[in-house]
Amino acid sequence: MISSVTVTYNPDIACLRNQLQSLGGQVDCCIIVDNGSLNIVEIEGLHKEFGFVLIKLQKNFGLAYAQNVGINHAIATIGADYLLLLDQDSILETDFIKNLLSVYQHNNVGILGASFYDPNSGEIYPGTSYNGPFISRVPVKEFSEVTFVIASGSFFSSDVFKKVGGMEEQLFVDYIDVEWSLRAKSMGYVVAMTNKAKMAHTIGDSRLKIFGRTISVHSALRRYYLVRNSFFMLRLHYVPFGYKLRELILNILRALIAIFTSKNKKIVLGMILAGLRDGLKNKYGEYPSKR
Protein backbone atom coordinates (compact mmCIF):
# COMPACT_ATOMS: atom_id res chain seq x y z
CA MET A 1 0.00 0.00 0.00
CA ILE A 2 1.50 3.30 -1.13
CA SER A 3 0.11 6.67 -0.06
CA SER A 4 1.07 10.17 -1.16
CA VAL A 5 0.81 13.12 1.24
CA THR A 6 0.55 16.66 -0.10
CA VAL A 7 0.36 19.70 2.16
CA THR A 8 -1.50 22.66 0.67
CA TYR A 9 -1.54 26.32 1.64
CA ASN A 10 -3.34 28.69 -0.73
CA PRO A 11 -2.33 26.51 -3.70
CA ASP A 12 -2.53 27.36 -7.38
CA ILE A 13 -5.58 25.24 -8.22
CA ALA A 14 -4.58 24.58 -11.82
CA CYS A 15 -1.16 23.35 -10.67
CA LEU A 16 -2.69 21.19 -7.94
CA ARG A 17 -5.07 19.70 -10.49
CA ASN A 18 -2.08 18.78 -12.65
CA GLN A 19 -0.47 17.04 -9.70
CA LEU A 20 -3.61 15.04 -8.98
CA GLN A 21 -3.83 14.02 -12.63
CA SER A 22 -0.17 12.94 -12.61
CA LEU A 23 -0.82 10.85 -9.47
CA GLY A 24 -3.74 9.05 -11.10
CA GLY A 25 -3.25 5.28 -10.97
CA GLN A 26 0.20 5.61 -9.39
CA VAL A 27 -0.70 5.48 -5.68
CA ASP A 28 -3.23 3.49 -3.67
CA CYS A 29 -4.28 6.54 -1.70
CA CYS A 30 -3.78 10.28 -2.13
CA ILE A 31 -3.98 12.43 1.01
CA ILE A 32 -4.10 16.21 1.01
CA VAL A 33 -3.66 18.06 4.29
CA ASP A 34 -4.77 21.66 3.95
CA ASN A 35 -3.18 24.23 6.23
CA GLY A 36 -6.06 26.69 6.44
CA SER A 37 -6.09 27.83 2.80
CA LEU A 38 -8.22 30.80 1.81
CA ASN A 39 -9.27 28.93 -1.35
CA ILE A 40 -10.46 25.83 0.50
CA VAL A 41 -13.73 25.84 -1.47
CA GLU A 42 -11.79 25.29 -4.69
CA ILE A 43 -9.75 22.53 -3.04
CA GLU A 44 -13.00 20.89 -1.96
CA GLY A 45 -14.08 21.04 -5.60
CA LEU A 46 -10.99 19.04 -6.56
CA HIS A 47 -11.77 16.68 -3.71
CA LYS A 48 -15.17 15.90 -5.24
CA GLU A 49 -13.61 15.49 -8.67
CA PHE A 50 -10.64 13.26 -7.75
CA GLY A 51 -11.83 11.58 -4.55
CA PHE A 52 -8.65 12.00 -2.51
CA VAL A 53 -8.60 12.05 1.29
CA LEU A 54 -8.90 15.67 2.42
CA ILE A 55 -7.86 16.66 5.94
CA LYS A 56 -8.75 20.29 6.69
CA LEU A 57 -6.82 22.10 9.40
CA GLN A 58 -8.41 25.23 10.82
CA LYS A 59 -5.29 27.37 10.42
CA ASN A 60 -1.72 27.17 9.19
CA PHE A 61 -0.03 24.91 11.73
CA GLY A 62 3.16 24.71 9.69
CA LEU A 63 4.48 22.31 7.09
CA ALA A 64 6.01 19.80 9.52
CA TYR A 65 2.81 19.48 11.59
CA ALA A 66 0.68 18.96 8.48
CA GLN A 67 3.12 16.39 7.08
CA ASN A 68 2.96 14.43 10.34
CA VAL A 69 -0.84 14.55 10.31
CA GLY A 70 -0.95 13.16 6.79
CA ILE A 71 1.70 10.50 7.31
CA ASN A 72 0.20 9.27 10.59
CA HIS A 73 -3.24 9.12 8.99
CA ALA A 74 -1.86 7.11 6.07
CA ILE A 75 -0.19 4.61 8.40
CA ALA A 76 -2.87 4.29 11.09
CA THR A 77 -6.03 4.55 9.00
CA ILE A 78 -5.05 3.29 5.56
CA GLY A 79 -2.25 0.91 6.51
CA ALA A 80 0.31 2.48 4.18
CA ASP A 81 3.57 0.56 3.80
CA TYR A 82 5.27 3.35 1.82
CA LEU A 83 4.87 7.13 1.84
CA LEU A 84 5.55 9.78 -0.79
CA LEU A 85 5.71 13.43 0.29
CA LEU A 86 4.84 16.13 -2.22
CA ASP A 87 4.70 19.92 -2.33
CA GLN A 88 1.60 21.39 -3.89
CA ASP A 89 3.43 22.38 -7.10
CA SER A 90 5.13 19.07 -7.90
CA ILE A 91 4.06 17.21 -11.06
CA LEU A 92 5.07 13.56 -11.53
CA GLU A 93 6.14 11.89 -14.73
CA THR A 94 4.81 8.51 -15.94
CA ASP A 95 5.83 5.44 -13.88
CA PHE A 96 7.19 7.72 -11.16
CA ILE A 97 5.99 5.57 -8.23
CA LYS A 98 6.74 2.28 -9.96
CA ASN A 99 10.35 3.30 -10.54
CA LEU A 100 10.80 4.79 -7.06
CA LEU A 101 9.54 1.61 -5.44
CA SER A 102 11.80 -0.57 -7.59
CA VAL A 103 14.93 1.42 -6.74
CA TYR A 104 13.94 1.61 -3.08
CA GLN A 105 13.40 -2.13 -2.73
CA HIS A 106 16.58 -3.10 -4.59
CA ASN A 107 18.92 -0.89 -2.56
CA ASN A 108 19.69 -0.56 1.13
CA VAL A 109 18.12 2.87 1.51
CA GLY A 110 16.09 4.64 4.18
CA ILE A 111 14.95 7.74 2.28
CA LEU A 112 14.91 7.96 -1.50
CA GLY A 113 14.46 11.26 -3.31
CA ALA A 114 13.31 11.76 -6.86
CA SER A 115 15.12 13.73 -9.57
CA PHE A 116 13.45 17.07 -10.20
CA TYR A 117 13.63 19.93 -12.66
CA ASP A 118 12.39 23.51 -12.89
CA PRO A 119 9.23 23.48 -15.06
CA ASN A 120 9.95 27.01 -16.33
CA SER A 121 13.63 26.77 -17.25
CA GLY A 122 13.96 23.00 -17.64
CA GLU A 123 17.00 23.14 -15.34
CA ILE A 124 17.72 19.75 -13.72
CA TYR A 125 18.65 20.12 -10.06
CA PRO A 126 21.62 18.06 -8.83
CA GLY A 127 21.89 16.19 -5.56
CA THR A 128 23.69 17.69 -2.57
CA SER A 129 26.64 16.03 -0.86
CA TYR A 130 28.69 17.55 1.97
CA ASN A 131 32.35 16.86 2.70
CA GLY A 132 33.03 18.84 5.85
CA PRO A 133 32.05 22.47 5.09
CA PHE A 134 32.43 21.89 1.35
CA ILE A 135 29.50 21.02 -0.86
CA SER A 136 29.41 18.98 -4.05
CA ARG A 137 26.60 19.12 -6.57
CA VAL A 138 26.11 15.47 -7.48
CA PRO A 139 24.60 14.55 -10.87
CA VAL A 140 21.75 12.23 -9.99
CA LYS A 141 22.19 8.72 -11.38
CA GLU A 142 20.11 5.57 -10.95
CA PHE A 143 21.24 5.50 -7.32
CA SER A 144 23.24 8.40 -5.86
CA GLU A 145 23.89 8.80 -2.15
CA VAL A 146 23.42 12.38 -0.93
CA THR A 147 23.51 14.26 2.37
CA PHE A 148 19.83 15.12 2.28
CA VAL A 149 16.80 15.14 -0.01
CA ILE A 150 14.09 17.77 -0.28
CA ALA A 151 10.70 16.83 1.13
CA SER A 152 8.86 16.85 -2.17
CA GLY A 153 9.45 13.57 -3.97
CA SER A 154 10.90 11.86 -0.89
CA PHE A 155 9.90 8.21 -0.58
CA PHE A 156 10.26 6.03 2.51
CA SER A 157 8.69 3.10 4.31
CA SER A 158 6.37 3.38 7.28
CA ASP A 159 8.93 1.38 9.29
CA VAL A 160 11.61 4.01 8.61
CA PHE A 161 9.23 6.79 9.64
CA LYS A 162 8.34 5.02 12.89
CA LYS A 163 12.00 4.50 13.78
CA VAL A 164 13.32 7.92 12.75
CA GLY A 165 10.32 9.79 14.19
CA GLY A 166 8.14 12.56 12.84
CA MET A 167 9.08 15.82 11.18
CA GLU A 168 10.31 18.51 13.58
CA GLU A 169 7.28 20.73 14.15
CA GLN A 170 9.18 23.50 15.94
CA LEU A 171 10.77 24.44 12.60
CA PHE A 172 7.32 25.23 11.14
CA VAL A 173 8.81 25.55 7.62
CA ASP A 174 12.35 25.37 6.17
CA TYR A 175 15.12 22.94 7.13
CA ILE A 176 12.49 20.29 7.95
CA ASP A 177 13.66 17.91 5.23
CA VAL A 178 17.35 18.57 5.95
CA GLU A 179 16.93 17.88 9.67
CA TRP A 180 14.94 14.69 9.05
CA SER A 181 17.47 13.41 6.51
CA LEU A 182 20.41 14.05 8.85
CA ARG A 183 18.55 12.45 11.75
CA ALA A 184 17.95 9.36 9.61
CA LYS A 185 21.61 9.25 8.55
CA SER A 186 22.70 9.50 12.20
CA MET A 187 20.66 6.33 12.82
CA GLY A 188 22.47 4.46 10.05
CA TYR A 189 20.00 4.94 7.19
CA VAL A 190 21.18 5.68 3.67
CA VAL A 191 19.75 8.79 2.02
CA ALA A 192 19.83 8.79 -1.78
CA MET A 193 18.29 10.08 -5.00
CA THR A 194 17.43 8.42 -8.29
CA ASN A 195 17.01 9.66 -11.86
CA LYS A 196 14.57 6.83 -12.58
CA ALA A 197 11.75 8.93 -11.11
CA LYS A 198 11.42 12.52 -12.35
CA MET A 199 9.12 15.39 -11.46
CA ALA A 200 8.66 19.09 -12.12
CA HIS A 201 9.28 21.19 -9.02
CA THR A 202 10.23 24.79 -8.23
CA ILE A 203 12.51 25.77 -5.34
CA GLY A 204 12.06 29.24 -3.85
CA ASP A 205 9.76 32.02 -4.99
CA SER A 206 12.09 32.70 -7.93
CA ARG A 207 15.68 32.13 -9.08
CA LEU A 208 18.47 34.67 -9.39
CA LYS A 209 21.95 34.45 -10.94
CA ILE A 210 24.81 36.09 -9.02
CA PHE A 211 28.48 35.71 -9.98
CA GLY A 212 27.57 32.79 -12.23
CA ARG A 213 25.67 30.92 -9.51
CA THR A 214 21.91 30.43 -9.40
CA ILE A 215 20.29 31.01 -6.00
CA SER A 216 16.73 30.74 -4.72
CA VAL A 217 14.92 33.94 -3.84
CA HIS A 218 12.57 33.80 -0.85
CA SER A 219 10.00 36.12 0.67
CA ALA A 220 10.85 38.20 3.75
CA LEU A 221 8.88 35.80 5.97
CA ARG A 222 10.70 32.77 4.58
CA ARG A 223 13.98 34.59 5.15
CA TYR A 224 12.96 34.91 8.83
CA TYR A 225 12.44 31.15 9.10
CA LEU A 226 15.67 30.38 7.24
CA VAL A 227 17.73 32.57 9.57
CA ARG A 228 15.98 31.44 12.74
CA ASN A 229 15.89 27.73 11.97
CA SER A 230 19.58 27.63 11.15
CA PHE A 231 20.20 28.16 14.88
CA PHE A 232 18.05 25.09 15.57
CA MET A 233 20.28 23.08 13.26
CA LEU A 234 23.44 24.37 14.94
CA ARG A 235 22.25 22.99 18.28
CA LEU A 236 21.66 19.42 17.05
CA HIS A 237 24.33 16.88 18.01
CA TYR A 238 23.78 14.75 14.88
CA VAL A 239 24.33 17.62 12.45
CA PRO A 240 27.94 17.39 11.21
CA PHE A 241 30.34 20.14 12.25
CA GLY A 242 31.18 20.91 8.62
CA TYR A 243 27.51 21.58 7.88
CA LYS A 244 27.27 23.87 10.90
CA LEU A 245 30.35 25.81 9.87
CA ARG A 246 29.00 26.28 6.36
CA GLU A 247 25.65 27.45 7.74
CA LEU A 248 27.31 30.10 9.91
CA ILE A 249 29.18 31.56 6.96
CA LEU A 250 26.49 31.24 4.31
CA ASN A 251 23.71 32.65 6.47
CA ILE A 252 25.56 35.94 6.60
CA LEU A 253 26.07 35.91 2.83
CA ARG A 254 22.46 34.88 2.12
CA ALA A 255 21.16 37.64 4.38
CA LEU A 256 23.30 40.26 2.67
CA ILE A 257 22.23 39.07 -0.78
CA ALA A 258 18.57 39.06 0.28
CA ILE A 259 18.83 42.65 1.50
CA PHE A 260 20.81 43.81 -1.53
CA THR A 261 18.44 42.26 -4.09
CA SER A 262 15.15 43.10 -2.35
CA LYS A 263 12.91 45.99 -3.31
CA ASN A 264 11.72 46.15 0.31
CA LYS A 265 15.08 46.26 2.06
CA LYS A 266 13.72 47.61 5.35
CA ILE A 267 11.17 44.79 5.65
CA VAL A 268 13.69 42.09 4.74
CA LEU A 269 16.24 43.49 7.20
CA GLY A 270 13.60 43.55 9.93
CA MET A 271 12.68 39.91 9.33
CA ILE A 272 16.32 38.85 9.27
CA LEU A 273 16.94 40.60 12.60
CA ALA A 274 13.79 38.99 14.03
CA GLY A 275 15.03 35.59 12.90
CA LEU A 276 18.42 36.28 14.46
CA ARG A 277 16.81 37.35 17.73
CA ASP A 278 14.48 34.35 17.98
CA GLY A 279 17.19 31.92 16.94
CA LEU A 280 19.52 33.17 19.66
CA LYS A 281 16.67 33.02 22.20
CA ASN A 282 15.74 29.49 21.09
CA LYS A 283 12.21 30.62 20.17
CA TYR A 284 10.56 28.51 17.48
CA GLY A 285 7.16 27.67 16.05
CA GLU A 286 5.01 30.05 14.04
CA TYR A 287 6.10 33.65 13.49
CA PRO A 288 5.88 35.70 15.59
CA SER A 289 7.31 33.19 18.06
CA LYS A 290 5.66 33.22 21.46
CA ARG A 291 7.53 35.40 23.90
**In the chain, where are the structural domains located?**
2-200, 206-280
pLDDT tens for each residue of 196-208: 999 998 775 554 5
Question: Phi-psi category of 276—alpha, beta or left, where left has phi over 0 and alpha has psi -120 to 50?
Answer: alpha
User: Which of 25, 8, 174 has its CA nearest to residue 90?
Assistant: 8
Task: Indicate yes or no: pTM above 0.75.
Answer: yes
Residue 112's pLDDT band, with cuts at 50, 70 and 90, is very high
User: Which of 88, 108, 205 has its CA nearest to residue 151?
Assistant: 88
Residue 14: its H or E element: helix 13-23
Of 128 and 17, the structure prediction assigns the larger pLDDT to 17
Of 121 and 155, the structure prediction assigns the larger pLDDT to 155
**How many Cα atoms within 13 Å fall on the side-chain side of residue 36?**
7
**What's the confidence (pLDDT) of residue 263?**
77
Residue 252: its H or E element: helix 241-261
pLDDT at 160 over 70: yes
The identity of residue 137, as a single letter, is R
Of 250 and 31, the structure prediction assigns the larger pLDDT to 31
CATH fold for the domain made of 2-200: Spore Coat Polysaccharide Biosynthesis Protein SpsA; Chain A (3.90.550)
b vs e for 206-234, b when ≥16 Cβ sit within 10 Å of the residue's Cβ? eeeeeeeeebebbbbebbbbbbbbbbbbe
**What's the confidence (pLDDT) of residue 35?**
97
**What's the confidence (pLDDT) of residue 291?**
41
